Amino acid sequence: MRRANIKGALVGVEAVTPEGLKAAFKDFNQSGEALAKQLLTFKQHGVGVLGSLIFGLPTDKPATFDATVEMALKAEITFAQFLMMTQFPGTVDFARWEKEQAKRPTLVGNVPITGYWMIPPETRPKMFTPHPSVNAEEIGERVQKVWNRFYNWSAIWQRSACAPRLQFRIAFVFLSKLYRQMYAGTGISTDSARRKKAKRWAR
């Protein structure tokens, strides 16, 4: 990648624990310390990483959230996005969910939850299926804490060392804060007032 002059890559990490990777059908990947070491290889060759990680997997526990952000910090990935699990049509997860919902449908307004893309953003839930061990509100709060920790001023400034000059480091800091503001969720249900405020702040 470096020889091809590639500067950055989106890496679908998904999960950092062996059980999480198995739930995401990616148990061929490394986990924990070995995963952090693999991701560091990108930085060592001058390639930035946008790491994509999922929460809401059935194997997630309260400890999973801390383990995830600690791995992301240890791996020194440039940017990270912490997403809620979303079932997409055509996937194994969606087919299983659709069968379950056919027995006892959940409606948001008049729209079945399995057609979530047709639900207006202000009423669309962040999490579509109940979690076996952690309630939706707790997951939402913990995800926000992960975003906040990864994108706090100190952590961002450390990562900005990848930029060659001071003005680029400052730009990196503001870009990171902008990314966090635009893409971090605002809880389990999106609040339209908060979304508007986030857009104003971003402008």
Task: Please report, for the domain that includes residue 149, its CATH number.
Answer: 3.30.750.200
Task: Give yes or no: residues 70 and 106 share one domain.
Answer: no
- Distance between CA atoms of 60 and 180, rounded to whole angstroms? 23
Which pLDDT does position 187 carry in this prediction?
Answer: 39
Which pLDDT does position 37 carry in this prediction?
Answer: 94
Task: Give yes or no: residues 64 and 113 share one domain.
Answer: no
- Distance between CA atoms of 61 and 1, rounded to whole angstroms? 35
Predicted model pTM: 0.84
Token duo for residue 168: 């680029």
Task: Give yes or no: residues 166 and 106 share one domain.
Answer: no
Task: Give yes or no: residues 69 and 168 share one domain.
Answer: yes
Task: Give yes or no: residues 73 and 152 share one domain.
Answer: yes
Task: Give yes or no: residues 17 and 59 share one domain.
Answer: yes
- Distance between CA atoms of 141 and 135, rounded to whole angstroms? 10
Which pLDDT does position 192 carry in this prediction?
Answer: 47
Half-sphere exposure of 107 (CA within 13 A, CB side): 3
Helix (H) or strand (E) holding 54: strand 48-55
- Distance between CA atoms of 113 and 129, rounded to whole angstroms? 9
Handedness of CA 91, 19, 59, 10 (dihedral sign): negative
Task: Give yes or no: residues 72 and 147 share one domain.
Answer: yes
Domain residues for the domain of 26 are 8-85+134-202
Which pLDDT does position 136 carry in this prediction?
Answer: 82
Domain-ending residue, one of 100, 126, 152: 126
Task: Give yes or no: residues 176 and 144 share one domain.
Answer: yes
Residue pLDDT tens, the chain, 203 long: 989 999 999 999 999 999 999 988 888 989 989 999 999 999 999 999 999 999 999 999 999 999 999 999 999 999 999 998 888 999 888 999 999 999 989 999 899 999 999 999 888 887 888 888 888 889 989 999 999 999 999 999 999 998 889 999 999 999 999 989 888 864 333 344 455 666 676 66
